Structure 1
Amino acid sequence: MDTLHFEQILNCDDPLPQGKEIGRSREGRPILAYTIGGGPLRVSLIGGCHADEPVGPRFLDHLVRYLAGSDGAELRTAATWSVIPHVNPDGARANAAWQTPGADRYDFVQYLRHRVRELPGDDIEFGFPRGGDDPGARPENRAAWDFWRAGAPYHLHVSMHGMSVAAGPYFLVERSWWPRFGDAAASLTRAVEDAGHTLHDVERHGEKGFHRLGHGFCSRPDSRAMRRHFLDLGDRETAARFRPSSMEAVRALGGDPLTLVTEMPLFIIPGVGAELGPPDPVLTRWRERIAGWEARLRAADNAPASAAARGEEKMAAREETAVRKETTVREEMATAGLAAMPVRDQMRFQWSFIRAGLRVARESGESRAGSAG
């Protein structure tokens, strides 16, 4: 059934319904949200909390079209969907140089050259209001918070995230719900492996709230643990900026919602996870290698031309240098085994995770109702 819905969602060519403008970004761009359906499960989905993670917003755009269209009746009957496809339109604009619309894969060279990401403490995921009146929160966060309050409490909340590089898909689960998530985790693991992918796996011993729950599964991060991490580094200024995450904000609105975070890699790097760490020595080497590639590409893009050259000659010389560097870096990436993860696969596992959350939340509700009876 998951695969059937997924194909229908991606192939839906219905027009995007008119969304509700719930607020404006820092730079004045509209933020749109949708409330679709009337089913008993109340579901919140949000994308774009990090500026350089485009696949979640792309999938939610497909999903909104499907939910509102003629084929979405089953899902509209099952749940009431509160969806913010892209809470960060400024981030989308800042990353437009490498986020090619409709791309089936992203280009790692262009990603390294042009990606833009907010600094810790200023990203939207950890910027939600500490209470009803928190004027220091970003306008994007205040808009989402007000939208959620109108539909709360929720049974399920999913924040659609991605990673730059990883061994494969990675699933973050509300820690208190993990005992109820075992069957869903096994099903997701089979789906990933059957598709020829490897789950990302790492041991962080609670750093920033990340506790390993099982192979490829981890607890979702926590703002208090984030603050402690930066305080331990002696960075009080950054620590003070952290506000609740979207997961914490939704849970603060009542009930006991299952909160999930999808983490799909834009690019797959082999060998990670053979030793969990911390640190994972293979992941450490990959990060060093990638930092070197990025430095070389950006240096080539900004390399000065000969002082004797003029106008167009300077431009041509700079472009020639950049092309040579790019060619060399691409060859090194291919030799090392770095590969772009198909966007379709990323979306497929995002949907599988959402569906798993729906099943677990529904079954948990039915179990509680049976116990009460």
Structure 2
Amino acid sequence: MPPLLRYPTVDELGARAASLVARHPRQTRLRRVGTSRAGTPLWLLSVGHGGRQALVVAGPHANEPVGGATVLRLAERVLADPRLHEGADATWNLLLCLDPDGLRRNEGWLRGPYALGDYFRRFFRPGFLEQPEWLPDGAEAVTLPETRALLALQDELRPFLQCSLHGVDVGGGFVELTHDLPGLAQRVARSAARLGIPRELGPYDTLYWPELGPAVYRIPRPRRGDLAAAITEAAVESTWFHPHRYGTVTAVVEAPMWGVAAVEDGAPPADEETVLRRVSHTLRDDTRVLERLLARLRPHLPAGSEAARLLAPVDDYLLVCPGLADTWDPDVPDPVGTHPLPRLSTAHLAALRIAGRRLALRTAGLLHQLVTGAGHDPAGVLPELERWLDTWCDDYRDGCGARWIPVARQVEYQSRVVLSAFELAHRHTSGRSRSGESGWNTGATVPMHRE
């Protein structure tokens, strides 16, 4: 099977998996484990017949398509190396895409050429309550069929390892774990260095989370909180923690699309407070611009599910922006009950700058689609939206130094991290901690990955 030089679509994922099964019918199976809200099958590709189950979930976020290509690459690697299934008594269960409906809405930019402006103008990610990994009201209250399918799969397989495959649009690679896997940070560092992938040493997502090693973070246990906290901290109940009762190690593996070198600069900043003021003030200014444009546009929007689907994430983003700006601003007193900022590195400050701009660009891109999808611009907001989208994308490229990472390299990096997590979790959950005792090395059959 030729390597993927671009992101696969929903239909291509299914077709490639079916072709793999046709060529390897004894070692692979493809079964439908659920159906999306729009009626698209949720396909599970299984490789091997071992008693220990590994679960890899691609496409939990609609705008992060790298995972689909990664699971296809993993299937090929596992088939090529019996030590990864027979030798490990393992079965690899690869969910091709958890949110196929959302991925279809991103297909306008999946084929490339890949440019920041095109990506954000065609970007789609549903509102927080429609993202299938989250359980904000607990597993018993789940209504999304995609979420129910994943929970049922976790309960059926009781995997020793679950990997959730994510993509960072702008920034660097990092990993989030529910259990420590000693040695993973070193493996992430080696893979990132060989492939030219910046590691994110202070991600916005993990600002308040324990660090297990450079670019590896511990996911806190779920806790009840308001919607704004859930959106920004992602520490609500989730499918990451649902299989915890089975001893499952969950690894959330983030691979960047556009890399930024500054996110791996762990040095102390020269003037932290000045940068924080600039980032927070910029976010407030951008939010005011977007709120004004939305106020002009909203009265002209048609009623119906399409506009509501695009407005839901817009409202989510605008909900959290003022609170984030206050949290980051050194001149705003820390409100009672919130976390003070930890000691920040240059990498942290770069990540916060990227995060604030990301919220603005995503909001502007969704507003752009609301206008262009209607075929006319009764509020007259499109020219201004175009200018802001161009200006903010230029800042990513010229101000942050964002550079495109080819799809094949994104996939190679994410695959290597998953294979490393598999080996370490296999040893850990088998009670075998002595290096090399498992008898196989994830890089042995992949020349690029030899350490």
Q: Which residue of 2 aligns with 1:308?
A: none
Structure 2 counterparts to residues 250-269 of structure 1, below 5 A: 250-252=243-245, 254=246, 256-269=247-260
Pair 1:43 & 2:49 matched = no
CA RMSD of aligned residues (A): 4.2
In terms of mean alpha carbon deviation, does 108-117 or 263-272 score higher? 263-272
Query: 1:251, CA displacement in angstroms?
Result: 1.9
Indicate the SS of the match to 1:198: coil
Pair 1:118 & 2:126 matched = yes
Pair 1:188 & 2:183 matched = no
Is the 2:60–2:166 Cα contact (8 Å) retained in structure 1?
yes
Cα distance in 2 for partners of 1:334, 1:212 equals 29
Indicate the SS of the match to 1:267: strand
Q: Which residue of 2 aligns with 1:3?
A: none
Residues 128, 368 of structure 1: CA spacing in aligned structure 2 closer, same or farther, 3 A cutoff?
Answer: farther
Write the letter of the residue equivalent to 2:427.
E
Is the 1:126–1:223 Cα contact (8 Å) retained in structure 2?
no
Query: 1:269, CA displacement in angstroms?
Result: 2.6
Instruction: From 95, 98, 111, give the equivalent of 1:87.
Output: 98
Q: Which residue of 2 aligns with 1:352?
A: 416
Query: 1:137, CA displacement in angstroms?
Result: 3.2
Percent identical:
22
Is the 1:127–1:138 Cα contact (8 Å) retained in structure 2?
no
Q: Deviations for 1:113-143, whole angstroms, at most 9, x for unmatched residues?
A: 1211122243111139945xx3533111111
Instruction: From 323, 336, 352, give the equivalent of 1:284.
Output: 352
Q: Which residue of 1 aligns with 2:147?
A: 141
Write the letter of the residue equivalent to 1:169.
G
Is the 2:122–2:365 Cα contact (8 Å) retained in structure 1?
no
Structure 2 unaligned blocks of 5 or more: 6-15, 22-28, 270-340, 435-451
Write the letter of the residue equivalent to 2:415.
W
Cα distance in 2 for partners of 1:87, 1:294 equals 21
Query: 1:296, CA displacement in angstroms?
Result: 6.8
Write the letter of the residue equivalent to 2:189.
T
Instruction: From 114, 127, 136, give the equivalent of 1:106.
Output: 114
Q: Which residue of 2 aligns with 1:16?
A: 20
Indicate the SS of the match to 2:146: helix
Q: Deviations for 1:9-48, whole angstroms, at most 9, x for unmatched residues?
A: 8699992326211111112111111332123432111111
Q: Deviations for 1:80-129, whole angstroms, at most 9, x for unmatched residues?
A: 112211111111112112222xx5x7321122112111222431111399
Structure 2 counterparts to residues 323-334 of structure 1, below 5 A: 333-334=396-397
Query: 1:173, CA displacement in angstroms?
Result: 2.1
Is the 2:34–2:42 Cα contact (8 Å) retained in structure 1?
yes
Query: 1:267, CA displacement in angstroms?
Result: 1.6
How many residues are aligned here? Answer: 333
Write the letter of the residue equivalent to 1:21.
R
Query: 1:260, CA displacement in angstroms?
Result: 0.7
Q: Deviations for 1:43-62, whole angstroms, at most 9, x for unmatched residues?
A: 11111111111001221133
Cα distance in 2 for partners of 1:296, 1:130 equals 32
Pair 1:343 & 2:411 matched = no
Q: Which residue of 2 aligns with 1:170?
A: 174
Cα distance in 2 for partners of 1:297, 1:258 equals 36
Cα distance in 2 for partners of 1:34, 1:140 equals 16
Q: Which residue of 2 aligns with 1:4?
A: none
Structure 2 counterparts to residues 313-332 of structure 1, below 5 A: none
Query: 1:232, CA displacement in angstroms?
Result: 8.2
Residues 303, 137 of structure 1: CA spacing in aligned structure 2 closer, same or farther, 3 A cutoff?
Answer: closer
Indicate the SS of the match to 1:97: helix
Query: 1:360, CA displacement in angstroms?
Result: 1.3
Q: Which residue of 1 aligns with 2:448?
A: none
Query: 1:204, CA displacement in angstroms?
Result: 7.0
Cα distance in 2 for partners of 1:22, 1:300 equals 35
Residues 361, 300 of structure 1: CA spacing in aligned structure 2 closer, same or farther, 3 A cutoff?
Answer: closer
Q: Which residue of 2 aligns with 1:159?
A: 164
Residues 10, 204 of structure 1: CA spacing in aligned structure 2 closer, same or farther, 3 A cutoff?
Answer: closer
Residues 86, 291 of structure 1: CA spacing in aligned structure 2 closer, same or farther, 3 A cutoff?
Answer: closer
Cα distance in 2 for partners of 1:214, 1:195 equals 20
Is the 1:21–1:31 Cα contact (8 Å) retained in structure 2?
yes
Cα distance in 1 for partners of 2:211, 2:36 equals 35
Q: Deviations for 1:191-235, whole angstroms, at most 9, x for unmatched residues?
A: 212333331011779767x322222111135432xx33x3786x9
Q: Which residue of 1 aligns with 2:200?
A: 200
Residues 116, 223 of structure 1: CA spacing in aligned structure 2 closer, same or farther, 3 A cutoff?
Answer: farther
Give the TM-score taking structure 2 as reference length.
0.61
Indicate the SS of the match to 2:39: coil
Is the 2:47–2:93 Cα contact (8 Å) retained in structure 1?
yes
Residues 39, 109 of structure 1: CA spacing in aligned structure 2 closer, same or farther, 3 A cutoff?
Answer: same
Residues 49, 329 of structure 1: CA spacing in aligned structure 2 closer, same or farther, 3 A cutoff?
Answer: closer
Cα distance in 2 for partners of 1:57, 1:243 equals 25
Q: Which residue of 1 aligns with 2:287?
A: none
Cα distance in 1 for partners of 2:178, 2:349 equals 28
